[in-house]
Amino acid sequence: MSSLDPYRAANLARWDESVAIHAASEFYGVDRFLAGESTLLPLDREEVDDVRGQSLLHLQCHFGLDTLSWARAGADAVGVDFSPAAISTARDLAERAGISAEFVESELYAAPQALSDRLASFDIVYVNLGAICWLPDIRGWAQVCAGFLKPGGQLFVRDVHPLTNTLDEEAPDGELRIAFPAFETEEPLQWCGDADYADTSAQMVNQTSYEWNHSLGEIVTAVIDAGCRIDFLHEQEYTVYRALPWLVEGPRGIFRLPDRDRVPDRRLPLMFTLSARKT
Ligand SMILES: C[S@@+](CC[C@H](N)C(=O)[O-])C[C@H]1O[C@@H](n2cnc3c(N)ncnc32)[C@H](O)[C@@H]1O
Protein backbone atom coordinates (compact mmCIF):
# COMPACT_ATOMS: atom_id res chain seq x y z
CA MET A 1 0.00 0.00 0.00
CA SER A 2 3.03 2.30 -0.10
CA SER A 3 1.76 4.10 -3.21
CA LEU A 4 -1.34 5.50 -1.49
CA ASP A 5 -1.68 9.29 -1.51
CA PRO A 6 -1.79 10.98 1.92
CA TYR A 7 -5.58 11.24 1.80
CA ARG A 8 -6.23 7.55 1.27
CA ALA A 9 -3.39 6.66 3.67
CA ALA A 10 -5.16 8.68 6.40
CA ASN A 11 -8.46 6.98 5.52
CA LEU A 12 -6.81 3.57 5.70
CA ALA A 13 -5.43 4.27 9.19
CA ARG A 14 -8.88 5.33 10.39
CA TRP A 15 -10.70 2.41 8.79
CA ASP A 16 -8.16 -0.04 10.17
CA GLU A 17 -8.66 1.36 13.67
CA SER A 18 -12.45 1.24 13.30
CA VAL A 19 -12.62 -2.50 12.64
CA ALA A 20 -12.28 -3.67 16.28
CA ILE A 21 -14.76 -1.00 17.39
CA HIS A 22 -17.25 -2.00 14.71
CA ALA A 23 -16.86 -5.73 15.29
CA ALA A 24 -17.75 -5.16 18.98
CA SER A 25 -20.64 -2.76 18.27
CA GLU A 26 -24.38 -3.28 18.55
CA PHE A 27 -24.67 -1.41 15.22
CA TYR A 28 -22.94 -4.18 13.26
CA GLY A 29 -24.32 -7.01 15.44
CA VAL A 30 -21.70 -9.73 14.95
CA ASP A 31 -23.48 -11.91 17.52
CA ARG A 32 -26.74 -11.67 15.59
CA PHE A 33 -24.91 -12.59 12.40
CA LEU A 34 -23.20 -15.57 14.07
CA ALA A 35 -26.62 -16.67 15.35
CA GLY A 36 -27.77 -16.88 11.73
CA GLU A 37 -29.21 -13.43 10.95
CA SER A 38 -28.52 -11.90 7.55
CA THR A 39 -27.08 -8.37 7.54
CA LEU A 40 -28.54 -7.66 4.09
CA LEU A 41 -31.36 -5.19 3.63
CA PRO A 42 -34.65 -6.55 2.21
CA LEU A 43 -34.15 -3.95 -0.54
CA ASP A 44 -30.89 -5.60 -1.59
CA ARG A 45 -32.51 -9.02 -1.66
CA GLU A 46 -35.24 -7.62 -3.93
CA GLU A 47 -33.05 -5.63 -6.30
CA VAL A 48 -29.94 -7.80 -6.62
CA ASP A 49 -30.17 -10.78 -9.00
CA ASP A 50 -30.81 -14.21 -7.45
CA VAL A 51 -27.35 -14.99 -6.06
CA ARG A 52 -27.73 -18.76 -5.72
CA GLY A 53 -24.84 -20.39 -7.55
CA GLN A 54 -23.64 -16.99 -8.81
CA SER A 55 -20.21 -15.44 -8.34
CA LEU A 56 -20.41 -12.16 -6.42
CA LEU A 57 -17.64 -9.61 -5.84
CA HIS A 58 -18.20 -7.26 -2.90
CA LEU A 59 -15.96 -4.20 -3.28
CA GLN A 60 -15.03 -2.27 -0.09
CA CYS A 61 -16.49 -5.12 1.96
CA HIS A 62 -15.30 -3.83 5.37
CA PHE A 63 -15.03 -6.81 7.75
CA GLY A 64 -17.21 -8.99 5.61
CA LEU A 65 -20.62 -9.30 7.26
CA ASP A 66 -22.53 -8.49 4.07
CA THR A 67 -20.16 -10.57 1.91
CA LEU A 68 -20.72 -13.52 4.24
CA SER A 69 -24.47 -12.93 4.25
CA TRP A 70 -24.43 -13.17 0.44
CA ALA A 71 -22.40 -16.38 0.74
CA ARG A 72 -24.96 -17.72 3.19
CA ALA A 73 -27.67 -16.88 0.65
CA GLY A 74 -25.90 -19.09 -1.87
CA ALA A 75 -23.36 -16.84 -3.64
CA ASP A 76 -19.81 -17.79 -4.39
CA ALA A 77 -18.59 -14.57 -2.72
CA VAL A 78 -15.33 -12.64 -2.77
CA GLY A 79 -14.80 -9.53 -0.61
CA VAL A 80 -12.15 -6.89 -1.23
CA ASP A 81 -11.03 -4.12 1.12
CA PHE A 82 -7.82 -2.15 1.66
CA SER A 83 -7.84 -2.55 5.45
CA PRO A 84 -5.70 -5.45 6.71
CA ALA A 85 -7.67 -5.49 9.99
CA ALA A 86 -10.96 -5.71 8.06
CA ILE A 87 -9.73 -8.59 5.91
CA SER A 88 -8.31 -10.60 8.80
CA THR A 89 -11.51 -10.08 10.85
CA ALA A 90 -13.59 -11.14 7.83
CA ARG A 91 -11.56 -14.34 7.42
CA ASP A 92 -11.91 -15.06 11.13
CA LEU A 93 -15.70 -14.52 10.99
CA ALA A 94 -15.99 -16.79 7.95
CA GLU A 95 -14.26 -19.53 9.91
CA ARG A 96 -16.36 -18.98 13.05
CA ALA A 97 -19.58 -19.00 11.02
CA GLY A 98 -18.48 -21.97 8.91
CA ILE A 99 -19.06 -20.05 5.68
CA SER A 100 -16.88 -20.39 2.63
CA ALA A 101 -15.89 -17.03 1.11
CA GLU A 102 -12.67 -15.46 -0.12
CA PHE A 103 -11.29 -12.16 1.21
CA VAL A 104 -8.63 -10.16 -0.60
CA GLU A 105 -6.72 -7.17 0.77
CA SER A 106 -6.47 -4.54 -1.94
CA GLU A 107 -6.96 -0.86 -2.56
CA LEU A 108 -9.95 -0.34 -4.85
CA TYR A 109 -8.04 0.91 -7.88
CA ALA A 110 -5.45 -1.88 -7.46
CA ALA A 111 -8.10 -4.62 -7.34
CA PRO A 112 -7.77 -5.50 -11.07
CA GLN A 113 -4.10 -6.40 -10.39
CA ALA A 114 -4.83 -8.16 -7.07
CA LEU A 115 -7.54 -10.28 -8.72
CA SER A 116 -6.13 -10.35 -12.26
CA ASP A 117 -7.27 -13.95 -12.79
CA ARG A 118 -10.89 -12.99 -12.02
CA LEU A 119 -11.39 -10.15 -14.52
CA ALA A 120 -14.61 -10.40 -16.57
CA SER A 121 -15.64 -13.42 -14.47
CA PHE A 122 -18.25 -12.24 -11.94
CA ASP A 123 -22.03 -12.49 -12.29
CA ILE A 124 -22.55 -9.69 -9.76
CA VAL A 125 -20.44 -6.80 -8.47
CA TYR A 126 -21.96 -5.43 -5.26
CA VAL A 127 -21.15 -2.06 -3.62
CA ASN A 128 -22.97 -0.83 -0.54
CA LEU A 129 -23.49 2.01 1.84
CA GLY A 130 -20.62 4.38 2.60
CA ALA A 131 -18.33 3.16 -0.17
CA ILE A 132 -17.90 5.59 -3.05
CA CYS A 133 -17.34 8.71 -0.92
CA TRP A 134 -13.85 7.34 -0.12
CA LEU A 135 -12.84 7.29 -3.78
CA PRO A 136 -11.31 10.24 -5.64
CA ASP A 137 -12.23 9.19 -9.19
CA ILE A 138 -15.70 7.84 -9.94
CA ARG A 139 -14.86 7.08 -13.58
CA GLY A 140 -11.90 4.93 -12.50
CA TRP A 141 -14.15 3.18 -9.96
CA ALA A 142 -16.74 2.35 -12.67
CA GLN A 143 -13.98 0.92 -14.89
CA VAL A 144 -12.86 -1.34 -12.02
CA CYS A 145 -16.45 -2.54 -11.37
CA ALA A 146 -17.22 -3.17 -15.05
CA GLY A 147 -13.85 -4.87 -15.58
CA PHE A 148 -14.84 -7.65 -13.16
CA LEU A 149 -18.24 -8.36 -14.75
CA LYS A 150 -19.09 -11.03 -17.29
CA PRO A 151 -21.19 -9.80 -20.21
CA GLY A 152 -24.75 -9.52 -18.84
CA GLY A 153 -23.45 -9.42 -15.25
CA GLN A 154 -25.04 -7.01 -12.77
CA LEU A 155 -23.40 -4.04 -11.10
CA PHE A 156 -25.48 -3.19 -8.02
CA VAL A 157 -24.75 -0.09 -5.96
CA ARG A 158 -26.61 1.14 -2.88
CA ASP A 159 -25.06 4.21 -1.34
CA VAL A 160 -25.72 7.53 0.33
CA HIS A 161 -27.44 9.91 -2.07
CA PRO A 162 -24.96 12.53 -3.28
CA LEU A 163 -27.39 15.31 -2.31
CA THR A 164 -27.29 14.14 1.32
CA ASN A 165 -23.52 14.58 1.23
CA THR A 166 -23.92 18.27 0.33
CA LEU A 167 -25.90 19.13 3.47
CA ASP A 168 -24.71 21.07 6.47
CA GLU A 169 -24.86 18.72 9.47
CA GLU A 170 -24.92 21.65 11.84
CA ALA A 171 -27.90 23.42 10.30
CA PRO A 172 -30.82 23.98 12.67
CA ASP A 173 -33.24 21.06 13.00
CA GLY A 174 -34.43 19.87 9.65
CA GLU A 175 -33.13 22.82 7.64
CA LEU A 176 -31.62 21.68 4.34
CA ARG A 177 -28.65 23.97 3.88
CA ILE A 178 -26.08 23.17 1.20
CA ALA A 179 -22.55 23.37 2.54
CA PHE A 180 -20.48 21.00 0.37
CA PRO A 181 -19.93 20.45 -3.36
CA ALA A 182 -22.36 18.22 -5.21
CA PHE A 183 -19.76 17.42 -7.90
CA GLU A 184 -16.50 15.51 -7.76
CA THR A 185 -13.61 17.80 -6.84
CA GLU A 186 -9.90 17.16 -7.12
CA GLU A 187 -9.31 18.10 -3.48
CA PRO A 188 -11.27 16.06 -0.95
CA LEU A 189 -13.32 17.31 1.96
CA GLN A 190 -11.47 16.93 5.22
CA TRP A 191 -13.26 15.64 8.32
CA CYS A 192 -11.86 15.67 11.86
CA GLY A 193 -13.33 14.06 14.93
CA ASP A 194 -12.85 11.25 17.40
CA ALA A 195 -16.42 9.91 17.18
CA ASP A 196 -17.35 6.79 15.26
CA TYR A 197 -20.70 6.29 13.51
CA ALA A 198 -21.18 2.77 14.86
CA ASP A 199 -20.17 3.53 18.44
CA THR A 200 -20.39 7.18 19.41
CA SER A 201 -18.67 6.47 22.75
CA ALA A 202 -15.50 5.29 20.99
CA GLN A 203 -12.55 7.68 20.92
CA MET A 204 -10.68 7.27 17.66
CA VAL A 205 -6.94 7.96 17.59
CA ASN A 206 -6.93 8.51 13.83
CA GLN A 207 -9.23 11.50 13.66
CA THR A 208 -8.78 12.84 10.15
CA SER A 209 -10.44 11.43 7.07
CA TYR A 210 -11.03 12.61 3.52
CA GLU A 211 -14.07 12.20 1.27
CA TRP A 212 -15.06 13.01 -2.27
CA ASN A 213 -18.64 13.57 -3.39
CA HIS A 214 -19.82 12.43 -6.85
CA SER A 215 -23.05 13.68 -8.37
CA LEU A 216 -25.66 11.21 -9.55
CA GLY A 217 -24.98 12.28 -13.15
CA GLU A 218 -21.25 11.64 -12.72
CA ILE A 219 -21.95 8.19 -11.28
CA VAL A 220 -24.44 7.15 -13.99
CA THR A 221 -22.31 8.51 -16.84
CA ALA A 222 -19.21 6.77 -15.47
CA VAL A 223 -21.09 3.45 -15.35
CA ILE A 224 -22.38 3.88 -18.92
CA ASP A 225 -18.94 4.91 -20.22
CA ALA A 226 -17.45 1.82 -18.56
CA GLY A 227 -19.60 -0.33 -20.84
CA CYS A 228 -22.77 -0.94 -18.82
CA ARG A 229 -26.45 -0.38 -19.55
CA ILE A 230 -28.51 1.06 -16.69
CA ASP A 231 -31.48 -1.10 -15.55
CA PHE A 232 -32.72 1.37 -12.94
CA LEU A 233 -31.75 4.19 -10.67
CA HIS A 234 -33.97 4.35 -7.59
CA GLU A 235 -33.87 7.12 -5.00
CA GLN A 236 -35.10 6.42 -1.47
CA GLU A 237 -36.42 9.05 0.95
CA TYR A 238 -34.84 7.14 3.84
CA THR A 239 -31.48 5.79 4.80
CA VAL A 240 -30.33 3.06 7.17
CA TYR A 241 -28.05 5.01 9.47
CA ARG A 242 -28.05 8.48 11.00
CA ALA A 243 -26.46 10.25 8.03
CA LEU A 244 -27.43 13.63 9.52
CA PRO A 245 -27.83 14.32 13.25
CA TRP A 246 -31.44 15.46 12.94
CA LEU A 247 -32.82 12.53 10.99
CA VAL A 248 -35.67 10.74 12.75
CA GLU A 249 -35.33 7.02 13.47
CA GLY A 250 -38.33 4.90 12.55
CA PRO A 251 -39.05 1.17 12.72
CA ARG A 252 -36.56 -1.38 11.34
CA GLY A 253 -33.54 0.94 11.51
CA ILE A 254 -34.89 3.39 8.93
CA PHE A 255 -33.98 7.10 9.20
CA ARG A 256 -35.99 9.90 7.54
CA LEU A 257 -36.17 13.66 7.42
CA PRO A 258 -38.51 14.96 10.12
CA ASP A 259 -42.14 15.02 8.93
CA ARG A 260 -43.61 18.46 8.40
CA ASP A 261 -47.12 19.15 9.72
CA ARG A 262 -47.70 15.39 9.91
CA VAL A 263 -47.02 15.11 6.16
CA PRO A 264 -44.26 12.62 5.32
CA ASP A 265 -41.22 14.58 4.27
CA ARG A 266 -40.34 14.13 0.61
CA ARG A 267 -37.94 17.02 0.19
CA LEU A 268 -34.84 15.02 -0.59
CA PRO A 269 -33.67 11.50 -1.43
CA LEU A 270 -31.25 10.16 1.19
CA MET A 271 -30.08 6.93 -0.47
CA PHE A 272 -30.01 5.48 -3.99
CA THR A 273 -29.80 2.08 -5.63
CA LEU A 274 -28.47 1.54 -9.11
CA SER A 275 -28.47 -1.60 -11.20
CA ALA A 276 -26.51 -1.80 -14.45
CA ARG A 277 -25.46 -4.63 -16.75
CA LYS A 278 -22.21 -5.18 -18.61
CA THR A 279 -22.98 -5.08 -22.32
C1 LIG B 1 -18.65 1.89 5.36
S2 LIG B 1 -17.64 0.59 4.74
C3 LIG B 1 -18.65 0.04 3.43
C4 LIG B 1 -19.05 -1.42 3.63
C5 LIG B 1 -20.38 -1.71 4.27
N6 LIG B 1 -21.40 -0.85 3.81
C7 LIG B 1 -20.33 -1.72 5.78
O8 LIG B 1 -20.82 -0.78 6.41
O9 LIG B 1 -19.85 -2.69 6.34
C10 LIG B 1 -16.36 1.41 3.79
C11 LIG B 1 -15.20 0.47 3.49
O12 LIG B 1 -14.45 1.03 2.41
C13 LIG B 1 -13.10 0.68 2.61
N14 LIG B 1 -12.29 1.59 1.79
C15 LIG B 1 -12.22 2.95 1.89
N16 LIG B 1 -11.41 3.44 0.94
C17 LIG B 1 -10.95 2.38 0.22
C18 LIG B 1 -10.09 2.25 -0.89
N19 LIG B 1 -9.52 3.33 -1.46
N20 LIG B 1 -9.83 1.00 -1.39
C21 LIG B 1 -10.42 -0.10 -0.82
N22 LIG B 1 -11.24 -0.05 0.26
C23 LIG B 1 -11.52 1.19 0.76
C24 LIG B 1 -12.88 0.82 4.10
O25 LIG B 1 -11.77 0.09 4.58
C26 LIG B 1 -14.22 0.31 4.65
O27 LIG B 1 -14.10 -1.03 5.00
pTM: 0.96
Q: What is the assigned CATH class of domain 6-278?
A: alpha beta
Distance 57 CA to ligand 1 centre (A): 14
Q: Using CA of residue 52, residue 275, residue 245, residue 62, what is the dihedral sign?
A: positive
Distance 180 CA to ligand 1 centre (A): 21
DSSP code at position 4: -
In terms of Cβ atoms closer than 10 Å to its own Cβ (0-12, 13-18, 19+), residue 187 is: exposed
| Pocket residue to mutate for ligand 1, from 61, 62, 128, most atoms within 8 A of Cβ | 62
Distance 78 CA to ligand 1 centre (A): 14
Q: What are the pLDDT tens digits along the chain (279 aa)? A: 557 999 999 999 999 999 999 999 999 999 999 999 999 999 999 999 999 999 999 999 999 999 999 999 999 999 999 999 999 999 999 999 999 999 999 999 999 999 999 999 999 999 999 999 999 999 999 999 999 999 999 999 999 999 999 999 888 777 889 999 999 999 999 999 888 889 888 899 999 999 999 999 999 999 999 999 999 999 999 999 888 888 889 888 899 988 776 666 788 999 999 999 999
Phi-psi region of 53 (alpha: psi -120 to 50; beta: other; left: phi over 0): left
Q: Where are the domains of the chain?
A: 6-278
User: Which amino acid belongs to residue 127?
Assistant: V
Dist. CA 134–CA 200, nearest whole Å = 21
**Which residues have C-beta atoms less than 6 Å from ligand 1?**
8, 11, 15, 60, 62, 66, 81-83, 86, 107-108, 128-131, 134-135
Half-sphere exposure of 18 (CA within 13 A, CB side): 24
